[in-house]
Chain A
């Protein structure tokens, strides 16, 4: 049998050693050697609208409506195709930055307002959109969260209200015609509902992300400034400060008004409790209305925020969030088409289709809301609402610690203890 005269074990080992060393050296080239970091370049607003586009986002529940909108986009631009790259929201929060950075996914992409947007902007993923004429179609006050160092990098698209949803029929049955405008009124409302055999609130204590929505309402009037959580993260404020302790004490007052074992309840069972009229309020937000309708909810719903101070001291009556921040990827080799897609989504008629189908308002002006639920809560677009404070945190561990303190208090921990536990984590992280 003929033998290979050139390959010996020594040659093999030499080859493997060289390959390993090359790989190691390649690895040692350092992170970011293929990244798109640096100051944001302006997105190409001209160029052919052709080719394949990837649209990366986390809204699997919006896939059908986006498919429909994409078909219309394709009719307008027959040479362009858009594919949705959807990840579950948790995964998107965790890994979108790395996925989008390479440029293979997300010619057009989205970011959560707050930490993720800031990280992505800091990593140079967002092309500068300041030159896009469609920016004028957006509400100026609503797209501010898409600014980074004075440049409009992203366009927050969805406008949601992170306030408890209530069953208007149950409120009527219990003689509640108007949402209470102070803390005593809110506790009185809860007591009325409870004595009527209804659980006032279905609190999703096992889902940390969804517990944070109530916190926004609870702090909006208690805190001495609107950037209260930024100041906790910077060390200027502490969880043991009076305003936060007061908030936790008010959480303790809510204990009798949530379902038994609330700290073990996930958001889906909480929705089910609300849908089956066992609970009168779901303390999450307007973005859950569509899920409730899909559970067969027929009764009218409304939004209300607990006002934690006397009515005369209340500065805000609700909470809003501008999120789903649209952006063009600096690493995309098809920025012309990507920009055209964002311009297309920024058409008020297109945005109206999206809003009415997903039961979420949008940040654009001149949108015709025909969905009855959107119409019912449309007045909140003009109320004094605060931009969700909880997303001021850019450190997720601190954000979770603060949210966990509220859950712990609902579960029976003393407000003081919960505040100290949270502050310990803040102190460790702030150092």
Chain B
């Protein structure tokens, strides 16, 4: 190896050179050869971010305190009335929130657990594991509308695969209206979501598992740790970053399962399938842009809050481990 190529500039500096001046608050030393024109390179991305994200977000905040209908030239400022209505006197929004929380709970727990189990089983790079990984990952590359149509057929009470199969084996008592059963419909959609994305989360877990040093398992084995203890005290803490990503991503995904819900539940979805994103869409459709903007702001705050709480929970769990 040529050591000269790895020598830092400081070590080759002539000793007679005067020490560098203390760093100024106003201007830092520039790397030799740095071209100021490079500052222009982030501009397109920044412009897209500012115009398509930052400004619309600020606009949403602005409209959230108005009664704008989406097309009239004039609107009134209504202060916090929209938020007060949402919090106290909007059973449709509250119903959507409850549905969304149920959906999120099922999806986060089931999808994370299933992804982890699959990852642990398929972490070795054998030929069969790679084939199965591809198989489990496959639903992820389908469009959500296609997934919705496939599962719509599965859940159809008259011609659907599930009821047909139950009938064929004499379990007619278990046949159901599925998406037409108000008390269970949201859980059936959650099941579809888990099927849809568990493979994607499995890949994140496999990447995490493959980073765990083998010598930790060897040490645990030497100490007489059982399979469960190796998982509990080695694997679980070591895949904390992967778990944090999976849980956070799944949570956000659960709140944004808009296209799957509309595909399965129609537009507008029935009350039992309405979640926050579809509720906001319905409000926009109802020409209540100001109110929908208030719902969106609240939606953003709820996602932020839930994600923060989950990250803390994951950290605490892994700190205990």
Chain A contact residues, CB within 8 Å of chain B: 1, 3-4, 7-9, 12, 16, 19-20, 23-24, 27-28, 30-33, 35, 37, 90-91, 93-95, 97-98, 101, 119, 122-123, 205-209, 259-266, 269, 272-273, 395-397, 400, 404, 407-408, 411, 424-425, 428, 431
Q: A1-B35, A264-B179, A265-B157 are in contact. Are A31 and B286 (CB under 8 A)?
A: no
Q: Is the CB of B71 within 8 A of A269?
A: no
B154 CB to nearest A CB, Å: 12
What chain A residues lie within 8 Å of B92 (beta carbons)?
397, 425, 428
Q: Is the CB of B71 within 8 A of A37?
A: yes
Q: A4-B37, A404-B271, A428-B91 are in contact. Are A261 and B47 (CB under 8 A)?
A: no
What chain A residues lie within 8 Å of B159 (beta carbons)?
269, 272
Contacts A205-B177, A208-B266 known; list 10 others, CB within 8 Å.
A24-B55, A31-B71, A98-B70, A206-B266, A261-B180, A263-B177, A264-B178, A266-B156, A397-B282, A404-B271
Which of B59, B91, B182, B287 is the one whose CB lies under 8 Å from A424? Answer: B91
A52 CB to nearest B CB, Å: 25
B182 CB to nearest A CB, Å: 7
Give the CA-CA distance A315 to B62 in the complex, in Å: 51
B115 CB to nearest A CB, Å: 29
- Which listed segment binds A: B72-80, B189-197, B309-317? B72-80
- Judged by DSSP, the binding face of B is helix
What chain A residues lie within 8 Å of B181 (beta carbons)?
263-264, 411
Q: Is the CB of B286 within 8 A of A266?
A: no
A270 CB to nearest B CB, Å: 8
Q: Is the CB of A3 within 8 A of B35?
A: yes
Give the CA-CA distance A346 to B51 in the complex, in Å: 44
What chain B residues lie within 8 Å of A264 (beta carbons)?
155-157, 176-181
Query: Which size bracket describes the interface of B in this complex?
Result: 35 or more
Q: Is the CB of B271 within 8 A of A30?
A: no
Write the chain B residue with the least CB distance to A120.
Answer: B71
Write the chain B residue with the least CB distance to A5.
Answer: B36
Q: Is the CB of A23 within 8 A of B179?
A: no
Q: A205-B180, A397-B282 are in contact. Are A4 and B36 (CB under 8 A)?
A: yes
Q: Is the CB of A425 within 8 A of B156?
A: no
What chain B residues lie within 8 Å of A260 (beta carbons)?
157-158, 175
Q: Is the CB of A265 within 8 A of B70?
A: no
What chain B residues lie within 8 Å of A35 (beta carbons)?
71, 73
Q: At the interface, yes or no: B58 with Cβ under 8 Å from chain A?
A: yes
What chain B residues lie within 8 Å of A265 (beta carbons)?
156-158, 177, 180
Which of A27, A93, A396, A408 is the one whose CB lies under 8 Å from B182? Answer: A408
Q: A12-B39, A265-B158, A404-B270 are in contact. Are A20 and B177 (CB under 8 A)?
A: no
A189 CB to nearest B CB, Å: 22
What chain A residues lie within 8 Å of B91 (beta carbons)?
424-425, 428
Give the CA-CA distance A103 to B262 in the complex, in Å: 28
Binary interface profile of B, 237-250, with partner A (CB < 8 Å = 1, else 0)?
00000000000000
